[in-house]
């Protein structure tokens, strides 16, 4: 008995070490990004490259602070705009499909599924053609609308899956208390669906924040560009200041890092939602 316990412990230790090793290999590029962001410009082309920032510099981050703050602000606005738009569209629609048993709900779900398969590059051409006429090119609302097309179908499907599980009795009780459909939605359904709303919001924000295709097609000449586009422009104009490029990359990754720390379980829920059935 005692022997099995000991051998179990030992094998666990061994597995942890292996797990740490795998994770380290997987995250090496992320480490490298951070490492380069602190490297002196003169050391960037060192051969072999320094594995640690031996003589760290904040030069890259200084460049970020001087040049990238507006772009980060734009991304923040676009991300938040997408979150609001996505939730405002998706939650009521899911309520109609899942709880009000709207006719055609299944068809709508199918359409949303197909919508997710359309490449963004095709959508971007359609948007470009429309925006040219409407004067929405290079505008924040135009970019928010286009970016939201990524998150809206996901949002509806996720909300629908969750709301279908809400016990009917709860809604009936609300009804008995005299709440109408809207009141029920606002005071009963949405508070219960809080976790789904967080998940949808996280993804809507993250996708809008990371979007490159719509930004590079619909906002390329904008006065203020989102951070993805500004990193891209930075790489194009700047082949020597890789520490500044990587510093921008690190800063642009902050939302992802924050999400990982504070919202890891929502992220995992979002990835698996719907793709795997219980």
Partner 1 sequence: MTTTALAAVAETEERAPSPRRRRAWQRTIHGSPWTAVGFAAPLVIYLIAFYAYPLMRSVDLSVHDYNVRAFVQGNAEFVGLQNYVDVITSNLFKPALWNTLVFVGLSIIFQYAIGLALAVFFRHNFRLSGVLRALFLVPWLLPLIVSASTWAWMMNSDSGVVNAFLVAVGADPINWLTSPEWSLTAVIIANIWLGIPFNLVILYSGLQNIPGDVYEAASLDGAGAWKTFWRVTFPLLRPVSAITILLGLVYTLKVVDIIWIMTKGGPANSSLILSVWSYREAFGTGQPAFSPASAIGNLLILIALVFGLFYVRLQSREEH
Q: At what angle do helices 69-98 and 140-163 cross, to 10 degrees?
A: 40
Nearer to partner 1 among residue 10 and residue 56 (C-beta): 10
DSSP 185: I
Please identify, using beta-carbon distances, which residue of 81 and 153 lies nearer to partner 1: 153
Give φ, ψ of 232 to 5 degrees.
Answer: -60, -45
- 108, 192, 198, 222: which one binds partner 1 (CB under 8 A): 108
Q: Which of 1, 2, 5, 122 binds partner 1 (CB under 8 A)?
A: 122
Nearer to partner 1, 83 or 98 (CB): 98
DSSP-assigned letters across all residues of 49-111: PPSS-SS---HHHHHHHHHTHHHHHHHHHHHHHHHHHHHHHHHHHHHHHHTS--TTHHHHHHH
Q: Footprint of partner 1 on residues 144-173 (CB under 8 A)? A: 145-146, 148-158, 160-161, 164-165, 168, 171-172
User: What do you get for the CA distance between the two ends of the chain, in Å?
Assistant: 37
Q: Which of residues 198-237 bind partner 1 (CB under 8 A)?
A: 203, 206-207, 209-210, 212-213, 216-217, 220, 227-228, 231-232, 235
Phi and psi for 42 in degrees, rounded to 5?
-70, -20
The stretch among 16-24, 52-60, 66-74, 76-84 that binds partner 1 (CB under 8 A) is 16-24
Angle value at C-alpha 214, between 91 and 239, nearest 5 degrees: 135
Interface residue with partner 1 among 27, 58, 69, 134 (CB under 8 A) is 27
Give the Cα separation of 208 and 80 in Å (integer).
9
Nearer to partner 1, 58 or 220 (CB): 220
- Nearest-approach distance from CB 7 to partner 1, in angstroms: 14
Site for partner 1 in 43-82 (CB under 8 A): 44-49
> Rounded to an integer, what distance in angstroms lies between the CA atom of residue 237 and that of residue 77?
26
What φ, ψ does residue 237 adopt, rounded to 5°?
-90, -5
Report 174-193 residues binding partner 1 (CB under 8 A): 175, 180-181, 184-185
DSSP secondary-structure letter at 212? Answer: -
Among 40, 128, 192, 224, binds partner 1 (CB under 8 A): 128
23 contributes a contact to partner 1 by CB under 8 A = yes
């Amino acid at each position: 008995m005692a022997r099995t316990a000991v051998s179990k412990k030992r094998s666990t230790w061994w597995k942890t070490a292996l797990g740490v090793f795998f994770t380290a290999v997987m995250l090496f590029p992320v480490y490298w990004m951070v490492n380069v962001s602190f490297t002196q410009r003169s050391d960037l082309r060192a051969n072999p490259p320094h594995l640690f920032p031996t003589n760290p510099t904040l030069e890259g981050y200084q460049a970020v602070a001087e040049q990238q703050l507006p772009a980060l602000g734009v991304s923040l606005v676009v991300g938040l705009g997408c979150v609001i738009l996505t939730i405002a569209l998706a939650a009521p629609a899911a309520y109609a499909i899942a709880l009000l048993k709207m006719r055609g709900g299944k068809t709508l779900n199918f359409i949303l599924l197909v919508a997710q398969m359309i490449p963004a590059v095709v959508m971007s051409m359609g948007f470009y053609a429309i925006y040219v006429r409407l004067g929405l090119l290079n505008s924040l609302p135009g970019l928010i609308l286009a970016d939201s097309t990524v998150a809206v179908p996901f949002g509806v499907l996720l909300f629908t899956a969750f709301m279908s599980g809400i016990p009917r009795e709860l809604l009936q009780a609300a009804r008995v208390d005299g709440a109408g459909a809207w009141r029920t939605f606002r005071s009963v359904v949405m508070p219960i669906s809080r976790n789904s709303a967080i998940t949808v919001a996280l993804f809507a924000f993250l996708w809008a924040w990371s979007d490159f295709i719509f930004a590079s097609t619909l906002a390329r000449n904008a006065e203020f560009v989102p951070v993805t586009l500004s990193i891209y422009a930075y790489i194009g104009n700047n082949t020597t200041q890789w520490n500044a490029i990587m510093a921008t990359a690190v800063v642009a990754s902050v939302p992802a890092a924050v999400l990982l720390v504070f919202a890891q379980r929502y992220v995992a829920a979002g990835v698996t939602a719907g793709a795997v059935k219980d």
